[in-house]
Amino acid sequence: MTQTHVPVIAIHGGAGTISAATTSAEQAQAYHDALKSIVAAAQAMLLKGASALDAACLAVEMLEDCPLFNAGHGAVFTHDETHELDAAVMDGATLAAGAVAGVCHIRRPVRAARAVLEDGAHVLLAGAGAEVFARERGLEMVEPSFFSTEARRQQLYRVRGTGRVVTDHEGATMAATGSSPLDEDKKFGTVGAVALDMHGHLAAATSTGGMTNKRVGRIGDSPLIGAGTYADDRTAAVSCTGSGEMFIRVAAAYDVCARMAYGGATLEAATHAVVQQSLPAIGGSGGLIAVDRHGNLSLAFNSEGMYRGHARGNDAPQTAIFA
């Protein structure tokens, strides 16, 4: 088969509010370096002919393993000081999808989501049932404390006193200490990746620790196919980050693809309509990353910043935080 498509990878590490505290160049650089290395790893895979699904999953696994971001190690705490993680993956070539929600012992939730996709019997498994499934599949299990970091614990204590539920970049005064460019008390945690491979196939993957001080059992948009994650070779692959309840209500990821399929919208027009119109209309904040079947990219957000990176073909990875 002729390999005619130039591969594209894009990732996000959450969207949110610029830190009030001054961010040093070194602090911002830590985020740029992490984003760049993850983009480069997925880009190298794609250039060797790997599938979009493999590349998107690798990128999200690496984001899960990085404590700078709210997924896997470094995930935020629920109100009860526990962790509940969610993840989803979707293959644009087949519309096959897999997701897990409310898990606390699976080291890499995106691998569990991928296993659900490959198993094919179900799309979304939650809680204890998802963990039994992951164990049966031989996935690495950990104690919930594996996901904890002291910064996230302090974030919970600060937020719990306010009675609010906040997204991960909203929760931390890592901001007060100036340790991250986006105000950690006003940032939507969630990590994601979208990819177009050499064969013209699209895929999306998303993983999250949810929202600081969330009620136990709360599930956001990330593991819901069509809300926070969607991919269809005929249109685009989309991964979202933001106020999950609002992304669910507008079926954000699917709406991007639907506007393209039914209305003939370009990727840019479709993502703009969702991020700048549909979401703000109901108080939704955040952003998304998307790549279409032609390799066009959109990294759209209505918050002050979004950790993001991308690469096309052999081009050097590009990263950004603010608008």
Q: Which of 3, 64, 49 is nearest to 208 (CA)?
A: 64
Alpha-carbon gap, residue 203 to 197, rounded angstroms: 9
Other CB atoms within a 10 A radius of the CB of residue 20 amount to 13
Q: Which residues pair with 308 in a beta bridge?
A: 12, 320
* Cβ partners under 8 Å of residue 272, min gap 6: 298, 300
Parallel, antiparallel or unpaired: strands 96-103 and 124-126: parallel
Of 17, 23, 173, 190, the catalytic one is 190
Which residues are known binding-site members for substrate?
218-221, 241-244
C-alpha 312: how far from chain center: 19
Catalytic status, residue 190: yes
Alpha-carbon gap, residue 155 to 149, rounded angstroms: 10
Other CB atoms within a 10 A radius of the CB of residue 63 amount to 30
- The b/e string for 4-16 (b: 16+ C-beta within 10 A; e otherwise) is ebebbbbbbbbbb
Other CB atoms within a 10 A radius of the CB of residue 49 amount to 12
Secondary structure class of 115 (helix, strand, coil): helix
For tokens 């393993």, the residue is 65
Task: Show which residues are catalytic.
Answer: 190
